[in-house]
Amino acid sequence: AQKVTQAQTEISVVEKEDVTLDCVYETRDTTYYLFWYKQPPSGELVFLIRRNSFDEQNEISGRYSWNFQKSTSSFNFTITASQVVDSAVYFCALTSNNAGNMLTFGGGTRLMVKP
């Protein structure tokens, strides 16, 4: 069975602070895919990034960066210079071919960025 753990249920920061959201996963599959989604108060789920298990390169997109470490089964997400618009619930998710493409979600981390 696959499992995703987001130990931080809620984080509160002040605007312009950097913040890291943790994600730890478990899977027996050797080929798998990790995702981060953002859910703003409006409720839709917005795709942020996909990372394949065979590609351990870290990625940066503007103020967002992701650190994928297979050795620790972690896929952490950092927001640099946070803004109020970053306030949302962030979900880490996992799937694989053996899982039938079904996503296993973490519990989510609610990020509140205060002005």
Partner 1 sequence: SAVISQKPSRDICQRGTSLTIQCQVDSQVTMMFWYRQQPGQSLTLIATANQGSEATYESGFVIDKFPISRPNLTFSTLTVSNMSPEDSSIYLCSATTGLPDTQYFGPGTRLTVL
Which residues contact partner 1 by CB under 8 A? 33, 35, 37, 42-47, 50, 52, 91, 95-97, 100-103, 105-108
Nearest distance from C-beta of residue 62 to partner 1, angstroms = 18
Please provide the DSSP assignment of 68-109 as one string. Answer: EEGGGTEEEEEESS--GGG-EEEEEEEE-GGGTT--EE---E
Nearest distance from C-beta of residue 98 to partner 1, angstroms = 10
d(CA 89, CA 101): 23
* Residue 24, strand partner residues: 5, 74
Of 11 and 103, nearer to partner 1 (C-beta) is: 103
Neighbours of 32 (CB within 10 A): 20
Of 80 and 103, nearer to partner 1 (C-beta) is: 103
Nearest distance from C-beta of residue 81 to partner 1, angstroms = 26
d(CA 65, CA 36): 11
Of 1 and 115, nearer to partner 1 (C-beta) is: 1
Of 61 and 101, nearer to partner 1 (C-beta) is: 101
Nearest distance from C-beta of residue 101 to partner 1, angstroms = 6
From the list 63, 6, 68, the residue with the least C-alpha distance to 33 is 68
